[in-house]
Amino acid sequence: MNSDMVAVLDSWFKAYENADVESVIAHHTANASMFGHGAPRVDGQEALRETIQGLLDSGIKHISHEVTEAESREDLGYLLASMTLETPETGKIMAKVTDVLKRQSDGTWKFHNTSWSLDS
């Protein structure tokens, strides 16, 4: 398991828990995308910023996450995780997440694509 990529996800959730939208966005490449269950695809940091702010404004809270797989080859990696969130409307929800990460020129990893699906 690639511990550097796991640390990036941990850091992302810490920034989210602190409602630090700019720090969350800094974890993504400039042309990153995000899409998932019932949500339109968003592309680029500005669209991601609006989406993350919307999630925070709606009261969605992170409870926990667990990385089940994180592997890389050269400058491309993937991460699989499960997460538990809490929403004002439905209470606890669980989801599976697939992330594609790109290694940056300074050696750090950033999210390039994120997709998720809700557990039934």
Distance CA(53)–CA(46), nearest Å, equals 11
The confidence score (pLDDT) of residue 82 equals 95
pLDDT given for residue 119 in this prediction: 85
**How is residue 114 annotated by DSSP?**
E
Range of the domain at 84: 3-118
pLDDT of 87? 87
Amino acid 39: pLDDT: 82
Q: Is 55 helix (H, G, I), strand (E, B) or coil?
A: helix
CATH number of domain containing 8: 3.10.450.50
Count: domains in the chain: 1
The 10s digit of each residue's pLDDT in 83-93 is: 999 888 888 98
pLDDT in tens, 92-105: 989 999 999 999 99
Q: What is the pLDDT of residues 19-54, one digit of tens each?
A: 999 999 999 999 999 998 788 999 999 999 999 999
- pLDDT single digits (tens) 48-72: 999 999 989 999 898 899 999 999 9
Could you write out the DSSP letters of every residue in the chain?
A: --HHHHHHHHHHHHHHHTT-HHHHHHTEEEEEEEEETTEEEEESHHHHHHHHHHHHHTT-EEEEEEEEEEEEETTEEEEEEEEEEEETTTEEEEEEEEEEEEE-TTS-EEEEEEEEEE--
